[in-house]
Chain A
């Protein structure tokens, strides 16, 4: 059988091989998302004047920097076959902690540190409960979601404005690019997070174990991989990303409020799915999640450019896109199995 395959390969001409070329299957869904994004932009630039300007593209990053960071954390969790419903609440809690500690006169670095430590600890605790007590990720993070919202209300029921000078100047800061374009520092932070996440997933032992656990947890265990460390670790990473996303959100809104980011976990999950990550785990790229967030952002831009479409079309179109990608995933995996 081996020899037959070998002679098959050697017998094919260069043209045959070129015809038979297909990109690595890992990249295929990401390419589909990218094609969708380009297609949406194409349609937008034909229909609306000024849609295709580079600043519109950059604004996608500016307005969704926090969501990019959230989606990166969610990608880690979904790659292991889990899910994290607490991210939206952790964002709200982060804005609350930042706003209240700054109001109490803490230096900004301490406030940032407090937010990041709280988010990571919360994620770590959920990971420990999920792995060691074998509670379903869905229900454990649901408890985390309630806990974080409850803590928000415990801090304050009212919205707290952020008046700290460092935060205000960071929020107003912009980095000018050639050609009268600009981005905000938050964009750089979010892209840095994407780069680090891609590096961790593809160049480190931890990252490879994440894919292995998602592929088959028991196989990973039998191979002697550090399953416990990875399963707890991804929730800690997601908690860290949520709190960092919360900080970016606080910079975007300049306030802390218990009702910030209601339902943002759904946006993050949708972005990851649209980005081609398989919900059963083990398959997906972090760059896909970035593209997924950009697709969601483009839908928003579409609706604001159009003017006649009402805001609820955002939700409906996100739902439809989610459906299309989930169904595609389903047929894709079914074909591979059979």
Chain B
């Protein structure tokens, strides 16, 4: 039992299970999953499908945070990806064909990788603080997305492109399958090779790992490219789901949800430790939270309030100082104020 509560996934999973239980009590049909027209339907499937973009962005963010960085530009990159894909499809001679959809997706992802290279260059070569380096693209990115769309909401009509966000494959939504595939590949590459350990080493001390023969600069550069790739894929899903590119609102505040997911999942913001499964559970938790709030009769706009409470709670749980303060009080051993150490 003690080992169970100490497992790093224990608290996120417990929170998710509790939240699902609340939902199941509030709406008895919540846990039902039914087959209809060969697709799976139900609240759980909806949660997984709507949570797919956040999960993807959070996956990239997990690796960035593990190197003690942060990527604020993911929302803007998502908007750019959607804009590039939709403008390409709308401007092509054959806007409904599968070939157009594939070239659009490839083009959008290529642009995102370029943006990731840019972020990585600022952080790893010029040595600018990650929060500021990515702030540049966060500020300018939405402007660039609007430049691409000409300030309008570009709508497209392409069944193949739409499938990425709203389609089904083998009864399951494609969005879920894509994000789970990215999760699986990332897990394999980081945990079955030494790459994950190297990422953590760079997060603990970039200089020491460089001296130990780890190519810190390349690793840091790579995680930013990966983060931008994930953000781009998420942006494509968002655009495909609505068949439109909205440069202003696509992926708005997704960076905050993603950071929240990473932190709840047990990845330390101080770097050097990451948990992809934790991120998965936490991303589902956040999506369930946004779904729960309207279901139990609270206006959905207040979900920021709940997120704030969750962030504060998680940070205090992770903070050694806060833990020490609670521990001391329960032991009544000293009257030392918290934080005076």
**What's the Cα separation between A280 and B130 when bound, in Å?**
12
Indicate if the CB atoms of A147 and B305 lie closer than 8 Å: yes
Interface centre among B129, B305, B322, B338 (most CB of A within 10 A): B305
CB of A315 within 8 Å of the partner chain: yes
Chain A residues with CB under 8 A of B181: none
Contacts A312-B142, A326-B132 given; does A131 touch B312 at CB 8 Å: no
Give the chain A neighbours of B74 by CB distance below 8 A: none
Main secondary structure of the interface of A (DSSP, over half): helix
Give the contacts of A261-316 with B (CB-CB under 8 A): 266, 269-270, 273, 279-280, 310-316
How many residues on B have C-beta within 8 angstroms of the other chain's C-beta atoms? 48
Check if B321 is an interface residue, CB within 8 A of chain A.
Answer: yes
A199 close to B (CB within 8 Å): no
Looking at B128, B137, B316, the one whose CB has the most chain A CB atoms below 10 A away is B128
Structural contact, B146 and A143, CB atoms closer than 8 A: no
Q: B125-153 interface mask toward A, CB cutoff 8 Å, 1 = contact, 0 = none?
A: 01111011101111111111011000100
Contact indicator B128/A327 (Cβ below 8 Å): yes
Interface pick from A10-18, A23-31, A52-60, A150-158: A150-158
* A326: B residues at CB distance < 8 A: 128, 132-133, 136
Across the interface, do A138 and B70 meet the contact criterion of CB distance under 8 Å?
Answer: yes
For window 170-212 of B, CB contacts with A under 8 Å fall at none
Per-residue B-contact encoding for A122-142, CB less than 8 Å = 1, 0 else: 000000010111111011101
Stretch at the interface among B26-34, B89-97, B296-304: B296-304
- Evaluate contact between B339 and A131: CB separation under 8 angstroms: yes
**Interface assignment of A320: CB less than 8 Å from any CB of chain B:** yes
A134: min CB distance to chain B, Å? 5
Q: Mark B254-285, 1 if CB is under 8 A from A, else 0.
A: 00100100010000011000000000000000
Instruction: List the A side residues contacting B131 at CB < 8 Å.
Output: 83, 138
Query: Are A157 and B299 touching (Cβ within 8 A)?
Result: yes
CB-CB under 8 A from B142, the residues of chain A are 312, 315
CA of A316 to CA of B148, assembled, Å: 12
Among B140, B269, B301, B321, the residue within 8 A (CB) of A132 is B321
A322 interface residue per 8 A CB criterion = yes
Q: Does B311 contact A (CB under 8 A)?
A: yes
- Evaluate whether A150 and B302 lie within 8 angstroms (CB atoms) in the complex, with A139-B269, A326-B128 already known: yes
Question: With contacts defined as CB atoms under 8 Å apart, how many contacts are there between chain A and chain B in the complex?
Answer: 132
Q: Cβ of B321: which chain A residues have Cβ within 8 Å of it? A: 132-134
How far, in Å, is B305 (CB) from chain A's closest CB? Answer: 3
Instruction: Contact check, B263 vs A280: say whether CB atoms are below 8 A apart.
Output: no
A312 touches B302 (CB 8 A): no
In the bound assembly, the distance between CA atoms of A320 and B135 in angstroms comes to 11
Name the residue of chain B whose CB is nearest to the CB of A320: B140
Are B312 and A143 in touch, CB under 8 angstroms? yes
| Complex interface: chain B residues within 8 A of A270 (CB) | 139
**Residue of chain B at shortest CB distance from A135:** B315
Q: Check: B306 CB closer than 8 A to any chain A CB.
A: yes
Q: Are A134 and B320 in contact (CB under 8 A)?
A: yes
Cα of A133 to Cα of B137 in the assembled complex, Å? 31
Asked if B304 contacts A315 (CB within 8 A), the reply is no
Q: Find chain B residues with CB under 8 A from A228 CB.
A: 339
Interface residues of B in 287-321 (CB under 8 A from A): 299, 301-309, 311-312, 315-316, 319-321
CB pair B311 A146 closer than 8 Å: yes
A258 to B303, CA, bound (A): 13
**Chain A, Cβ-Cβ closest to B144:** A316
- B316 to nearest A CB, angstroms? 6
Chain B proximity of A70: nearest CB distance (Å):
16
Contacts A315-B140, A319-B140 given: A310-B269 contact, CB under 8 Å?
Answer: no
Contact A133 B306 (CB under 8 A): no
Q: For A334, what are the chain B residues with a Cβ–Cβ distance below 8 Å?
A: 127
The reply to whether B308 and A310 form a contact with Cβ atoms under 8 Å apart is no
Distance in angstroms between the alpha carbons of A133 and B311 in the assembled complex: 14
- Chain B: which residue is nearest A311 at the CB level? B151
Chain B residues with Cβ below 8 Å from A314 are: 143
Evaluate contact between B302 and A266: CB separation under 8 angstroms. no
Is the pair A153, B339 in contact by a Cβ cutoff of 8 Å? no
B143 close to A316 (CB less than 8 A): yes
| Residues from 47 to 68 in A contacting B, C-beta threshold 8 Å | none
Q: Which of A201-230 contact B (CB under 8 A)?
A: 228
Partner of B263, one of A129, A139, A322: A139
| Chain A residues near B138 (CB-CB < 8 A) | 266
Interface pair B133/A143, CB less than 8 Å apart:
no
* B307 and A146 contact, CB distance less than 8 A: yes
**Are B140 and A318 neighbours in the complex by a CB distance under 8 Å?**
yes
Cβ–Cβ < 8 Å partners of A310 in chain B: 146-147, 151
Q: Nearest CB to that of A314 among chain B residues?
A: B143
- Residues in A neighbouring B302, C-beta threshold 8 A: 150, 153-154
Q: Are A312 and B151 in contact (CB under 8 A)?
A: yes
A314 vs B128: C-alpha distance when bound (angstroms): 23
State A161–B173 Cα separation when bound (angstroms). 44
Is B135 touching A134 in the complex (CB atoms < 8 A)? no
Contact assessment for A133 and B143 in the assembled complex, using a CB-CB cutoff below 8 Å:
no
**Once the chains bind, are A150 and B303 in contact (CB under 8 Å)?**
yes
* Interfacial chain A residues near B338, Cβ < 8 Å: 132-133
Known interface pairs A134-B321, A139-B263, A330-B126. Does A312 touch B311 (Cβ–Cβ under 8 Å)?
no
A146:B316 contact, CB within 8 angstroms: no
Complex alpha-carbon distance, A334 and B308, angstroms: 38
Decide if B139 touches A318 in the complex (CB within 8 Å): yes
Interface residues of A (CB under 8 A from B): 83, 129, 131-136, 138-140, 142-147, 149-151, 153-154, 157, 228, 258, 266, 269-270, 273, 279-280, 310-316, 318-320, 322-323, 326-327, 330, 334
7 more A-B residue pairs beyond the given contacts A138-B131, A150-B303, with a C-beta to C-beta distance below 8 A: A132-B339, A139-B259, A147-B312, A153-B299, A312-B143, A315-B140, A322-B135
Q: List 25 A-B contacts (CB under 8 A).
A: A83-B131, A132-B321, A133-B322, A134-B319, A142-B256, A142-B259, A143-B308, A143-B311, A143-B315, A145-B308, A147-B304, A150-B302, A150-B305, A150-B307, A153-B301, A279-B132, A312-B144, A315-B139, A322-B135, A322-B136, A323-B136, A327-B128, A330-B126, A330-B127, A330-B128
List the 8 closest pairs (A to B, CB-CB), nearest first. Answer: A319-B140, A150-B305, A315-B143, A132-B339, A146-B308, A150-B304, A147-B308, A153-B301
